[in-house]
Amino acid sequence: MTTPFTNLIAGRPVLATFQINLRCNSACGYCDLPLNVGRYEMTREEIQRVFSCLYRDGVRFVLVQGGEPLLRRDLPEILEDLSAIGLHLTLITNGTKITPQLVERLSRLPLAISVSLDTLDREKYRQIRGADQLEQVLEGIALLRTFPHPKFLTCIVSEVNRVEAPAVVRFAREQGFLPVVGAYHWSVGTYGRPDELLMYDRTSAAALFSGLLDEELIPSGYLRKFVEDNVSWLRGQKLEPCDAGRYSIAIDASGNVSPCLAFPSVGNLLESSLSEILGRFDRGAIKACSDNSSCNRLDGRVVGTMLRHPITALRSARSFTSQGALS
């Protein structure tokens, strides 16, 4: 069995972003993923088999997203399977389908939850997300008030919510959530769809992120480093190397693997081993994309950032373990 430490030395994946389904009940202006088109989704048994192999290959961290993962009826059972394998999970959801029964069940797992919330204004929410769902999201956040594991609130900054982002961050902290604030990217593969309503002036957006840092609204550690990187990215500065295809990979609901969501898949884990698929990655294209700093995806840079900045990693751990102090 390969260990995560061995993978870190060899530049192999320890983190996977997993699109557990390809269905969604939102229509976000910044998303261009191929959703709600009837594509095949792996069964619970296939997912268990695939991720058991990935665990043996040294993968330990999985970001479980969609689509909207809570639309998958067997999601709790799948999360229990993945946890039993030994994987460290973070569930990423729009928060519209959270129930007391689900919270009680997930509370028994060593699982982190990230809820997406870009605005506290109902009309702005509808403009950004393409659905009138703010009330359901706020109800879901309230149900997570006593959730015993790390919980994050992710705000994607666009022109529609730019001036309101500090209020969303304050709300996150009041509710006991760690705030994750990132910039809307467009024209970056399936990750970013150009939407004129959401596009901003980069100078104005950089000023917003700088203000979050100046006001000490973002806790120390990686989440603060991520905001600092957003400022650099918005100002056109070069970022540190991306993890895509090296420390992290993306896996869609059918089992297809790509370096990240900005790249096409090159193999399927139901048919090929991870090593075979990694050998098909176009490393030159990945490096060119990273050197161009065409995006600043959190999951595509977190592992490398932690390795390069051990003090940041230590402060991140302290932020996660002292989460209750934020509320």
pLDDT of residue 37: 83
Q: Which residues contact 228 (CB under 8 A, 6 or more apart)?
A: 213
Measured CA to CA, the distance from residue 68 to residue 88 in angstroms comes to 20
pLDDT of residue 1: 87
154 close to 180: Cβ distance less than 8 angstroms: yes
Helices (H), 222-309: 222-234, 274-278, 283-291, 302-308
Q: Could you read off the pLDDT tens digit of each residue along the chain, which spans 327 residues?
A: 899 999 999 999 999 999 999 999 999 988 878 888 888 999 999 999 999 999 999 999 999 999 999 999 999 999 999 999 999 999 999 999 999 999 999 999 999 999 999 999 999 999 999 999 999 999 999 999 999 999 999 999 999 999 999 999 999 999 999 999 999 998 776 667 889 999 999 999 999 999 999 999 999 999 999 999 999 999 999 999 999 999 999 999 999 999 998 899 999 999 999 999 999 999 999 999 999 888 888 889 999 999 999 999 898 988 777 664 444
Two tokens, residue 46: 């296939």
Vertex 313 angle, CA 326 and 156, to 5°: 60
Q: Which residues contact 163 (CB under 8 A, 6 or more apart)?
A: 208
pLDDT of residue 326: 47
- pTM of the shown model: 0.95
Transcribe 164-221 into DSSP letters: GHHHHHHHHHHTTPEEEEEE---SBGGGB---TTT---HHHHHHHHHHHHHTT-SPSS
Amino acid, single-letter form, for residue 165:
A
pLDDT of residue 190: 66
Comparing CA positions, the residue from 132, 7, 22 lying closest to residue 57 is 7
17 close to 248: Cβ distance less than 8 angstroms: yes
The DSSP output letter for 248 is E
